[in-house]
Amino acid sequence: MPHIALALAAVFLVGLIVPAVAEVRIVAIGASQTYGSGRGSTNGGVSPAQAFPAQLEALLRARGIDAHVSNEGVAGDTTAGMLSRLNGGVPEGTDVVILQPGTNDGSPAMRGTTAGNIAEMRRRLAARHIPVIMLTQSLRIAPKDARDPDG
């Protein structure tokens, strides 16, 4: 359910941020929580239709918003990886970016760079006049038998 709550919050925020346009182009960029929570790993993850960006697109369309949500999540990605692929992953014409960095920057070597990488992504997107919705996540993990299909 956490992703459904996040999706509903994003629906609300997209309504506030994006003026009425024919189509809303959203890019969700992040790690495995965006990609599909471990798709391809031992726990199986979820299908592309169950991943957070697809759920968000369905919710927006159900509310009458012509939205296309691109899934630019990469399982295991760090903020450094997201920063390096930001320009290619967020094409011209993007209306909103949902940035969900994840917890892969947890190694001691990465901890000092996370905030700077996120700030740089936000700076680059602001320079392109693309609003950012930041989604953070808790480090608490529910037992496998208590999880939704999307983790």
Nearest to 81 by CA among 24, 34, 11, 133: 34
Query: How do residues 18-66 score in pLDDT, each as one tens digit?
Result: 555 578 899 999 988 888 865 444 455 777 788 889 988 998 888 888 8
Give the helix ranges, DSSP H, for 18-151. 32-35, 52-62, 79-84, 86-89, 108-111, 114-127
- All structural domains of the chain, each given as residue ranges with its CATH number in brackets, are 2-16+23-138 (3.40.50.1110)
Nearest to 57 by CA among 89, 77, 28: 28
Both tokens of 108, joined, read: 């001691």
Query: How do residues 80-125 score in pLDDT, each as one tens digit?
Result: 999 999 999 999 999 999 999 877 887 777 767 888 999 999 999 9
